[in-house]
Structures are given as C-alpha cells and as structure tokens.
C-alpha cells in the first residue's frame, strides 16, 4: 500500500465509522474526526486492526477554528492529504413550523459550514495530491418535506456546495462529489425508533418495519453499503467522476 492519507469526519459512529473501517483497506493512514473521544478510540482500534494507521482528533467542526487544526495536525503527522470525507452532521428532524432558530443554526454550523471550512482548509494539500472530496448529503435534498424541513434544506445546500467545489476542482485537479443516502440503519436511527415506538403503541420491530414500507423500499440501508460507495468515489477508478450527486436509497426517490 502506497502512502496515502484520508480525513474522515463523523468517524465515531454510523456511516462515518463504517467508512473509516472500509477505507483502512485502501489508505495507509486515516485521520478520524468527531466529538466523542471514546467512540473515536473504538473506531481507531478497528482501523488499525484492518491495517491502517489512525490519528484521532476529538473536536467540534461547528467551531470555526477546528478546520485549520484538523488540517495542521494531519499534515504534521503524515505530510499529505489524499481524500476528505465530510460525513459529520446530524440535523434535527423537526417540523417546519416547530424548528427553532437555534436548531437551524446548529444544523447549518456543523453539517454545512463545518464541511465548507474543512474542505477549504484542506484544499491546498488536496490540490497538491490531486485528491478527492466527498460530502455527505441525503436524498431529502431532492424532495424536502415539511416534517423534516431542515434536513432537506441543509442537504440541498450540501449538494449545491459540492457542485461548486467540483467546478473549482476541474481547474485545480481535485475531484468532488456528494452522496445522497436514503434511510440507513445507524445507531442514531435505532435509538429514534426505540423512543418513537412506545409513544405510538408499537413494538420496535413493528416500527422498524413500518418506515421502509411507507417509503416504498424493501429495507433500510446499512452503513457499510454507503461506505462502499464512498470508497469507490475516492478510488483511482472513479477519478473522472466529479460534480456528481449519487443517490443510494433503495429506490425511495421515484423520479428519474
């Protein structure tokens, strides 16, 4: 394995953790960024077991200074950045008329501005390496609904941001794409179902079956499936693919 370095945000759980474990097969070193140090250490152990070096940075990407810190520590440790996967950013699923200004600001601060600042901070190193960037959006970007207004709005912004970065990347030699997953069975979603089910007189098993049926899909996705798509996007075989917004949602979005 040649020397290659990827930064993965949101690496403490869910899709971010799955992406880190998957990319440990392709990169010699991974920089794992999230707020929960204990969970990051668990991811780092899995990464190192899979054969890659791991550097953990427990920091909040909603804070403006964090992006520069992550890039500086990455370059100090490994001297290069070949890929950046912006996965961090949970947005509250709150109805359009109930969402507070602070909830809007919190969602934007981490998922949109955190990814924007980190991509800009890493850009010179990515340009030098002719590297790749992936931004995590979601399929709600193409069909925002009132009960999940902030999720759809922020995901749409992420998708547009990725497209703008990809336009600059054509000149600078940096490949940028976004990924738009549908419902994925992460720990956060499992906790939501465990909370939601008894409030509606349902078992967790019934609630788990209910949502895919209502979405018109066969099942929830798995974090490892989204991680596999991301691994392809930062692989040499996908380097001519840039500016794309790739849905992976089990067919939930019915439009072409």
CA distance readout (Å), 176 to 49, 182, 236: 29, 20, 13
% of the chain beyond a pLDDT of 70: 99
**CATH node for 5-184+224-248:** 3.40.50.720
**For position 27, what pLDDT does the model report?**
98
pLDDT digits (tens, 9 = 90+) for 83-110: 999 999 988 788 889 989 999 999 999 9
**For position 41, what pLDDT does the model report?**
98
Among 44, 80, 245, 46, smallest CA distance to 157 is for: 245
In contact, 82 and 5? CB cutoff 8 Å: yes
Among 137, 57, 60, 37, smallest CA distance to 91 is for: 137
User: Radius of gyration (Cα) for the chain, nearest Å?
Assistant: 18
In contact, 6 and 70? CB cutoff 8 Å: no
Question: Could you tell me the pTM of the whole model?
Answer: 0.95
**For position 1, what pLDDT does the model report?**
47
**Entry field: residues in the chain:** 256
In the chain, CATH 3.40.50.720 sits at 5-184+224-248
Predicted confidence (pLDDT) at residue 3 exceeds the cutoff of 80: no
pLDDT digits (tens, 9 = 90+) for 122-164: 999 999 999 999 999 999 999 888 888 889 999 999 999 999 9
Q: Report d(CA 181, CA 192) in Å as an integer.
A: 18
Mean pLDDT of all residues belonging to the chain: 95
């Amino acid at each position: 394995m040649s020397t290659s370095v990827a930064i993965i945000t949101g690496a403490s759980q869910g899709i971010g953790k799955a992406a880190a474990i998957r990319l440990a097969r392709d990169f010699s070193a991974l920089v794992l960024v999230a707020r929960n140090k204990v969970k990051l250490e668990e991811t780092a152990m899995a990464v190192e077991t899979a054969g890659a070096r791991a550097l953990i940075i427990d920091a909040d990407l909603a804070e403006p200074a964090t992006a520069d810190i992550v890039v500086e520590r990455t370059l100090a440790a490994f001297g290069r950045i070949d890929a950046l996967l912006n996965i961090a950013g949970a947005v509250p699923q709150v109805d359009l008329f109930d969402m507070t200004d602070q909830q809007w600001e919190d969602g934007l601060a981490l998922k949109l501005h955190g990814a924007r600042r980190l991509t800009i901070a890493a850009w010179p190193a990515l340009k030098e390496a002719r590297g790749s960037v992936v931004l995590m959006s979601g399929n709600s970007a193409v069909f925002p609904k009132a009960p999940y207004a902030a999720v759809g709005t922020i995901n749409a912004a992420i998708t547009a941001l990725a497209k703008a970065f990809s336009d600059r990347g054509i000149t600078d030699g940096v490949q940028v794409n976004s990924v738009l997953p549908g419902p994925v069975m992460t720990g956060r979603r499992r906790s939501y179902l465990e909370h939601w089910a008894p409030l509606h007189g349902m078992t967790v098993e019934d609630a788990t079956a209910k949502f895919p049926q209502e979405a018109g899909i066969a099942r929830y996705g798995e974090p490892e499936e989204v991680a596999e798509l991301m691994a392809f996007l930062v692989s040499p075989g996908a380097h001519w693919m840039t500016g794309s917004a790739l849905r992976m949602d089990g067919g939930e979005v019915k439009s072409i």
